[in-house]
Amino acid sequence: MKKLFTLLSAFILMSVSAQRHCGTTDRVAQLSHDPEFAARDQAIKTYLKNARSTSNKSGFTSTTNSVITIPVVFHVLYKNNSQNVSDSQIHSQLASMNADFRKTNADFGDVVPLAFQNQAADLEIKFVKATSGPNGQPTNGITRKQVSENFDLESQYYTTAGEQAWDTSVYLNVWIGRFQTFGYLGFGTPPAAAGMPYDGLVISYKAFGCNGSAIAPFNKGRTVVHELGHYLGLSHPWGEDGSSCGELANDDQISDTPSINDPHYGVPTYPENSNMCAPDENGAMFMNFMDYVNDEAMGMFTDDQKIVARATLEGPRASLLGTKTNTSNFGISVYPNPADKFFVIKSDNMELGKVEIYSSNGQLRKTADLEKSETAIPLENFEQGIYFLRIFDANGKLLKSDKLIKK
């Protein structure tokens, strides 16, 4: 009996661990304890809702030569060689991201039923490894660091225990490592985190890329694709609060994804109606990248999801549209750095609005209004250490993120 119980427990454990578990909802709940973050998050949701409702009049629809290129840096945080994902594995992940976001994935015709193929969108977003680092140095877009045995990926990825982000207003940062939390495949921070030191994707080495340490059924790179959806403002199709159909926020607010009340797992058989709020002959769009099915069963974003992703890149993540050089063209400088009693923010050609100063653990320490061109910020109440700055223009648009060292 004891042996049978042990085998049964192992079977249940394997079954649960083989289901997709996205940590984004938990991460956003943690971040929302900060009132500033919660307010930004709500404001951005309103902005994206307006973008969807006015999409026919907006510039978010597909146009010729409108492909957006986003530079990516991959931070590999490993405790042993098996977690130190190879360059080949990283390249396979990059290829998967680009195929899925451009609707060139080879399995599209097999995975997406004919009933949904006309709703599938080419998001016209391209991801490339960064070729220039934060200080202008040449790079292959990959950093590697061996971390301690007690390193906690979920909470320490962006700290000195892990690898501090490259300017998150300019680069998409992707951290890869081993989660301590059982079942997590990854999480992505939402647009409200734009420019923050913790902004980006955090992915299990077992669900990253298409070879090496990637383990089926999550070995086609689609955990990153799913978390990129969150990074670009997309929600799970069943909404955010787990309520039943028709209640509260139980919807992703996307008009062309059929409403469902729960995620789908594994490889469902089409048509699948068990989780549908209003069952019909086509069933649920379980093959959408924002659902929880296995990698092999995912295959599409929709036209309305494209509107949201593009609106995010025109709004809260607009700084990603340029390169490091483009960002410096704003003429914004921060000096002295390191600083002691004060530092100065100066702009040669932009009208500045405010600066937010955050501690290395993401806590907002100070918000200060800025003069149009030059402002001195006192530091008498700041301890020695590393701080992160978010500099905005007079209209509230994020212009630059920077690091400040307090002596």
Marked catalytic residue, from 163, 227, 272, 356? 227
Pick left, alpha or beta for residue 91 (phi over 0 → left; psi -120 to 50 → alpha; otherwise beta). Answer: alpha
**Site of tokens 């902005």:** 47
CA 93-62-237 angle, to 5 degrees, is: 60
* Cβ neighbours, 10 Å, residue 69: 11
Q: What is residue 214's three-state secondary structure?
A: coil
DSSP at 249:
T
Q: How many degrees, rounded to 5, is the angle at CA 173 between CA 198 and CA 263?
A: 80
Tokens 């405790």, located at residue: 79
Q: Count other C-beta atoms under 10 Å from residue 395's C-beta.
A: 7
Contact 153, 53 (CB under 8 A): no
Burial of 386 (0-12, 13-18, 19+ CB in 10 A): middle
Positions of E strands within 43-95: 68-78
227 counts as catalytic: yes
Q: Give me the DSSP letters along 125-137.
A: EEEEE-SB-TTS-
Q: Which residues have a catalytic role annotated? A: 227
